[in-house]
Amino acid sequence: MSVNNPIFGTIPRQSAVGMENEWVKMFDPPKADPPTPDVLVPTNPVPEVMAAAGMQTAPPIAHTLERQLMHGMTQRTWDNATDLVFFVFRDPTNPTASGGVYPAPTTRIPRGAIFHGHTQGSGPPPHTIHWHGIEPTPINDGVGHCSMEIGDYTYQWQPNFIGTYFYHCHRNTVQHFNFGLYGLLPIMPPDAYFATQKNPAIPIGACRDGKFRTAANLGIIRGPTGGEVPIDPGAGSGFEGAIIANPYPGFIGGLLTDPDPLREFATNPHAMTVPYDAEAIWVLGDRDSAWSALADDARATFPAFGPHPGIDDDFARKPGRDGFFAFNQFNPDYWFITGVPVPAHRGGTGRLPNQAVIPAELNSGISGTQVPIDARIGQTILIRCLNGAYDVIEVTFPVDVTIIAWDGRSLGVPPFGFNHPYFVPAGTPIHMSVARRFDCLIRSDSEVHGVATVKFLSARHGGRLGTAPVAVTAEIPVNIGPAATGTYSVSGSAFSSRTGEALPGVSIVLNSNAGSQTAVTDASGNYSFSGLVNGRYTVIPNLAGFRFSPRQREVTMAGANQSGQFFRGRAM
Amino acid sequence: MHRGQGTVETEIDRSWLSRRDFLKYSMGGLAVIVVGSRLGWLAKSHAYAAVQTHTIELQIGDAIKQMVTHNSIHNAECYFWVYKCVQPAVTPPVEVPGPTIFATQGDTVNIKVTNLLDEPHSFFIPGVVDSGPIPPVQNAPDNVWSKSFIIPGTVSGALLYYDNLNEPVNRIMGLHGAFVVMPDFTAAPPGGVGNKWTPYHNPTSNVQSLFNAFGDPDVWPGLAWGEGGDNPAPHPPTPPFRTYIWLDHQASPNLFAEVGNFPAGEDYPAAQFVDLFLNSRDLTNGISFKGAQYFTVNGQSGHFSHNNPHITPMLKVGEPCVVHILNAGLWMHSMHLHANHFYVTSINGAVQTNPLWIDVFNIHPMDRVDYVIPYMRPPDVPNARGIGRPDTVLQSPGNALIPGSVPHPIWPPSEELDFSIPSKIGVVIPGVTGLTALNAAGQPIDLGVQLSPLCYPMHDHSEPSQTAQGGNYNLGLIAGMNITGDRNLPGGVTEFPNDPDHVPPNTIQACAESEESRS
């Protein structure tokens, strides 16, 4: 045998003749600014809700998100050793995001809304936005070689599944993704945001019953198969063990096709959803400072078609230096959890601070979303975890968790749920490669003061724990403290004084010296306020077109729950 | 896949061919061997030009392969060791990977392998057959191994055949290929009446239920996986058992040449090979860089895999398919599919009890993973209820910025299917320009590409794997899924426009208006 004279000769490169157009478009996609074909009138309420809350200016185009890319940004590393260059999205309507942030603002949209994203690209060659996991037509999918790069374009789609997605630039992804052009994209229940528009007392992002909800089928949760069967929570199988009683209160089953009891939506917006009390977002990122240093030559990785496509295309724009091969071999040396630096060098372990809260302005208006978990006994905690790192990761929780969804598809929801949620015991690593994401729930009856460990493993070493070196270990504090002591609840219902039928959708305001809060009666006409300390409260019902008797109730809390606080409503 | 309208004649007369057929005839296929007589459906498949036999004869030798970016001004060649198929005659006869072999459980395979290289090599399928070391060419005529073996009934799905000597060097050097074992589709599906075919002899209840839902009008209307269907003339029928292979590999020209130049009869040290392949760091991309530089699916990268109907499914809504993924290399890939979430139904031979419905999954070295694609209408195309069902689509009021736009239903996306980006020369689409270039004879080529059929990628999200001579994800490890029509439209089975003579009506109107405005 001989490298210079091989036995079987030369295997020629395939021909591009007759397909020069597709050949060129593949590696040198055109920039274009077309109008949106098959256009609809957008209905996404989020920009308007954000504007009403003073978190952004009035949207320049109604019901339309604005994203500009890209914008350069440098950030000093945690060890003060260097500056990392980030490529980021700008939102010109949002003062907090107008200079760009890493990761990009979390963008939430209610399921079923018509989404329009007006996107403008500038700077080093064109961009796109790919809404990862959202599945629209190609021109709205943000892949340059399947449509075009921008330019100026308004993406259009309608999210059909509640869950966790992300958005990122799909051009030259070695830079434009890894350098920070990505953000989380949770799809919320259909009545989120619309509920706040209808009743400003409903917290932004909560449903019309005042609760934050996400999709899940908690009808059947299974634990690990017993015996010697290895379990891989990242793959889902190996969980055919005992059925676990659902520990998460408030789960609503039914079918997605069930009618809406309030007749506001095409179907019941709360079918197959579970409420949560606390939410954490873990967007895992990694950076190679050697790559960052190449950022000034951002065009180096862009091949160009030649005068005779397929024959003389220019695949080495800078042959004297790096050519477009500048980004050989990724060796990360800085790591992030949702933008919070992991304070550790390669091979080390770094712990995040105990508390970090995502500003509402960067979270589609939702307050209180955490990075490290700081919650209470008995609360339902939702964690959305995205591997935005090129490394493979292993996440290990200090508490039992229930995996309810992968990649925006909740497990076990008919008619597509040929699977089921599963219970992952504390200490079991969950393994996943880049771009994968899971949603899980935690609820603990006892105090937890520990850390979730996130091990970053090199993808090019196969990414398997035990064979791939652990690049770094991040520790994310998980603290579940005692429930607030000495708290009680007020509950009751609203019903028609004529027919006795339940009155759902009645806004119930609870006033006290400590302030005001609002609940909404559910499909059975019931409402409840919990976590109340002893004292005097006023409860006031309100529903447009109805008069209630009594008009309000005075409740004195003295060491016991106050139930049966009902109201009769009569149409005016 | 986009339709393109070249303005020059090529060596193939395209005038009667649809875009898809042109690709089928012009793009390199996979060399496919079918063992036995019970896989007749393969002969009907667009994806395979299969040759039927019981007897396979391979030679182990070496070759130089021109990679995706090889052209007149840029050298991109790589040395490989290859399994060449000499019996039966297949096209192409020499490729990396070796020929794809389809077989049925219980079939007999007669195989003969001749080693033409100067160190021992082997032919190995885990759990099926193992040649052991086949002596080198210096030992001729003893450099031949023959075997007749029966495919066990305990294996189904895709396996890798490869050279397991000096592991993993000989495999990574190119000595590997796909060996796909099917249940006996001439019998009845296992599991009793009412069950439909799956690719497995031992489906779990969830995987069986999944396949039973294909073709169920209440879940996924259209065809079951094992079911073919007629199409409007002149389109050929859709074959049953739609099956694709995505065999991943990575290649390092500098390291592979070093192995090829190693003294005859000596094995290149495996540990050194792995270390150089994985850890070489040379940002100047000099000859000292021994890491992987090309990332391939079925031996092809970029355009040659993404636009290849032998690799990328080109099917209609309602035509579910199975993709067997094999990773012959040493890197992990995170393979993300656009347009449809897929079910992972089997991992390393274990049919899944709890198959996830996801859009990206980790494929480790030597992993065997099956993606099952429902081929549903992309679910986030706006529709009546917005709950992921094949609901009535919404009605566009029309876009005043698009010439000729009138109110219309948004699926099929008729205005998008009419767009060309770049635009075709002479066609007016606001905000879209045209591009031209020259062919080898110096004649002009229109680089306009129509957005029809609907084109979506499958690509590796571990993009660092694709930054070397593959250049970017779209010159690296990439396949995709194209939607060429819809079986479930009220008007019946519909093919999206993709013939070269199709001129979108809206753009004709636009041309006319623009001519008028100029005069």
Of A143, A235, A294, which is closest to B457 when you measure between CB atoms? A143
Q: Is residue B261 part of a domain?
A: yes
Domain hosting residue B294, numbered range: 3-373
Domain count, chain B: 1
Of A18, A390, A463, which is closest to B10 when you measure between CB atoms? A18
Q: Is residue B328 part of a domain?
A: yes
Q: Give the Cα separation of B175 and B182 in Å (integer).
A: 23
Query: What sign has the CA pseudo-torsion B64, B69, B75, B78?
Result: negative
Q: What is the pLDDT of residues B62-112, one digit of tens each?
A: 999 999 999 998 888 999 999 999 988 888 889 999 999 999 888 899 999
Of B218, B264, B416, which is closest to A415 when you measure between CB atoms? B218
Of A266, A301, A322, which is closest to B384 when you measure between CB atoms? A266
The pLDDT of residue B510? 29
State the burial class of residue B279 (Cβ atoms within 10 Å of its Cβ: 0-12, 13-18, 19+): middle
To the nearest whole Å, the CA of B434 is away from the closest chain A CA by: 9
Q: Are A165 and A199 a contacting pair, CB within 8 Å?
A: no
A&B contacts, CB < 8 Å:
471
Q: Give the Cα separation of A315 and A319 in Å (integer).
A: 9
Q: Is residue B108 part of a domain?
A: yes
User: Apex CA A346: angle with CA A345 and CA A347, to 5°?
Assistant: 110
The pLDDT of residue B38? 66
Q: To probe the interface with A, which of B2, B72, B338, B342 has the most A CB atoms within 10 Å?
A: B338
Q: Do A301 and B472 touch (CB under 8 A)?
A: yes
The mean predicted confidence, pLDDT, of chain A is 91
Q: What is the pLDDT of residues A368-386, one digit of tens each?
A: 999 999 999 999 999 999 9
Q: Do B357 and A407 touch (CB under 8 A)?
A: yes
The pLDDT of residue A271? 98
Interface of B with A in 138-197 (CB under 8 A): none
To the nearest whole Å, the CA of A326 is away from the closest chain B CA by: 6
Q: What residues contact B198, with CB distance under 8 A and at least 6 apart?
A: B183, B189, B207, B208, B211, B225, B345
* Residue B429 CA: distances (Å) to CA of B402, B415, B451, B514: 7, 11, 13, 11
Q: What residues contact B226, with CB distance under 8 A and at least 6 apart?
A: B185, B189, B196, B197, B240, B241
Q: Do A303 and B475 touch (CB under 8 A)?
A: yes
Q: Is residue B304 part of a domain?
A: yes
Helical H segments across A330-468, by residue range? none
Residue A484, pLDDT > 70, answer: no
Global confidence as pTM:
0.89
pLDDT bracket for residue A122 (50, 70, 90): confident
The pLDDT of residue B269? 97
Q: In what order do the strands lie in the sheet with A152-157?
A: A83-90, A64-76, A115-121, A152-157
Q: What is the pLDDT of residues A506-547, one digit of tens each?
A: 999 998 877 789 999 999 899 999 888 877 788 999 999 999
Q: Which residue of B has its CA nearest to A256?
A: B387
Q: Are B156 and B201 a contacting pair, CB within 8 Å?
A: yes
Q: What is the pLDDT of residues A133-164, one digit of tens each?
A: 999 999 999 999 999 999 999 999 999 999 99
Residue B16, pLDDT > 50, answer: no
Q: Do B451 and A147 touch (CB under 8 A)?
A: yes
Interface of B with A in 253-292 (CB under 8 A): 257, 260-261, 264, 278, 280-285, 289, 291-292
Q: Is residue B409 part of a domain?
A: no
Interchain CB contact of B202 with A (< 8 Å)? no
CATH number of residue B326's parent domain: 2.60.40.420
Q: Do B66 and A10 touch (CB under 8 A)?
A: yes
- Backbone angles phi and psi of B429, in degrees to 5: -125, 120
Q: Which residue of B has its CA nearest to A460?
A: B331
Comparing CA positions, the residue from A152, A149, A154, A153 lying closest to residue A126 is: A149
Instruction: For residue A43, count other CB atoms closer than 10 A to its CB.
Output: 16
- Token look-up 């700081």 returns A374
Q: To probe the interface with A, which of B337, B360, B408, B452 has the most A CB atoms within 10 Å?
A: B360
- Set of chain B residues whose Cβ sits within 8 Å of the Cβ of A3: 62, 64, 79, 257, 260-261
The residue-averaged pLDDT of A264-275 equals 97
pLDDT bracket for residue B513 (50, 70, 90): very low
B331 or A484, which is more confident: B331
Secondary structure (DSSP) of A474-516: EEEEEEEEPPPTT-EEEEEEEEETTT--B-TT-EEEEEETTEE
Q: Are B196 and B190 a contacting pair, CB within 8 Å?
A: no
Structure tokens at A52: 């009403």
To the nearest whole Å, the CA of A508 is away from the closest chain B CA by: 30
Q: Is residue B13 part of a domain?
A: yes
Q: Do B381 and A136 touch (CB under 8 A)?
A: yes
- Backbone angles phi and psi of A94, in degrees to 5: -120, 110
Q: Do B283 and A290 touch (CB under 8 A)?
A: yes
- Set of chain A residues whose Cβ sits within 8 Å of the Cβ of B357: 406-407, 409, 416-419
Q: Which residue of A has its CA nearest to B327?
A: A462
To the nearest whole Å, the CA of A215 is away from the closest chain B CA by: 12
Distance, CA of A104 to chain centre: 11
- Backbone angles phi and psi of B484, in degrees to 5: -100, 0
B50 or A145, which is more confident: A145
pLDDT bracket for residue B327 (50, 70, 90): very high
The pLDDT of residue B10? 30
Of A147, A161, A237, which is closest to B354 when you measure between CB atoms? A237
The pLDDT of residue B160? 98
The residue-averaged pLDDT of A163-178 equals 87
Secondary structure (DSSP) of B233-257: TTSPPBPSS-EEEEEEEEE-HHHHH
Q: What is the pLDDT of residues B337-368, one digit of tens each?
A: 999 999 999 999 999 999 999 999 999 999 99
The β-bridge relationship of strands B50-53 and B100-104 is: unpaired
Residue A109, pLDDT > 90, answer: yes
The residue-averaged pLDDT of B256-283 equals 90
Q: Do B84 and A133 touch (CB under 8 A)?
A: no
Q: To probe the interface with B, which of A24, A26, A161 has the most B CB atoms within 10 Å?
A: A26
Q: What is the pLDDT of residues B468-507, one digit of tens each?
A: 565 567 888 999 999 999 999 999 999 998 644 333 333 3
- Set of chain B residues whose Cβ sits within 8 Å of the Cβ of A315: 69, 71, 74, 76, 469, 471
Q: Which residue of B has its CA nearest to A408?
A: B358
> At how many degrees (to 10) do helices B253-260 and B270-279 cross?
160
The mean predicted confidence, pLDDT, of chain B is 86
Lowest mean pLDDT among A136-145, A534-543, B40-49, B129-138: B40-49
Residue B4, pLDDT > 60, answer: no
The residue-averaged pLDDT of B404-408 equals 95
B24 or B388, which is more confident: B388
User: Apex CA B380: angle with CA B379 and CA B383, to 5°?
Assistant: 85
| Peptide bond just before A233 cis, omega within 30 deg | no
To the nearest whole Å, the CA of B161 is away from the closest chain A CA by: 20
pLDDT bracket for residue A479 (50, 70, 90): very high
Q: Are B368 and B325 a contacting pair, CB within 8 Å?
A: yes
Q: To probe the interface with A, which of B173, B375, B449 has the most A CB atoms within 10 Å?
A: B449
The pLDDT of residue A286? 95
Structure tokens at B402: 């698009």
Q: Do A7 and B384 touch (CB under 8 A)?
A: no
Q: Do B464 and A306 touch (CB under 8 A)?
A: no
Domains of chain A: 20-195 (2.60.40.420), 211-226+247-285+332-481 (2.60.40.420), 488-571 (2.60.40.10)
Comparing CA positions, the residue from B379, B405, B435 lying closest to residue B507 is: B405
- Set of chain B residues whose Cβ sits within 8 Å of the Cβ of A300: none
The pLDDT of residue B283? 58
Q: Give the Cα separation of A21 and A25 in Å (integer).
A: 6
- Token look-up 């986009």 returns B2
Of A13, A113, A462, which is closest to B67 when you measure between CB atoms? A13
The pLDDT of residue A325? 55
Q: Is residue B127 part of a domain?
A: yes
Secondary structure (DSSP) of A75-133: EE-TTSS-EEEEEEEE-TT-TTTTT--SSBPP--EETT--EEEEEEE-SSS-B--EEET
Q: To probe the interface with B, which of A263, A418, A436, A438 has the most B CB atoms within 10 Å?
A: A418
Residue type for position A533: V
Q: Do A390 and B464 touch (CB under 8 A)?
A: yes
The pLDDT of residue B372? 98
Q: Is residue B401 part of a domain?
A: no
Lowest mean pLDDT among A9-13, A185-189, A236-240, A559-563: A559-563
Q: To probe the interface with B, which of A116, A146, A182, A420 has the most B CB atoms within 10 Å?
A: A146
The residue-averaged pLDDT of A289-308 equals 79
Residue A321, pLDDT > 50, answer: no
Distance, CA of A197 to chain centre: 22
Q: Do A112 and B387 touch (CB under 8 A)?
A: yes
Q: Give the Cα separation of A334 and A345 in Å (integer).
A: 7
The pLDDT of residue B3? 31
Q: Do A390 and B116 touch (CB under 8 A)?
A: no
Q: Are B215 and B224 a contacting pair, CB within 8 Å?
A: yes
Percent of chain A with pLDDT over 90: 72
Q: Do B354 and A240 touch (CB under 8 A)?
A: yes
Q: Do A13 and B82 touch (CB under 8 A)?
A: no
Q: Do B399 and A34 touch (CB under 8 A)?
A: no
Q: Are B4 and B450 a contacting pair, CB within 8 Å?
A: yes
The residue-averaged pLDDT of B203-220 equals 97
Residue A561, pLDDT > 80, answer: no
- Set of chain B residues whose Cβ sits within 8 Å of the Cβ of A310: 71
To the nearest whole Å, the CA of B288 is away from the closest chain A CA by: 13
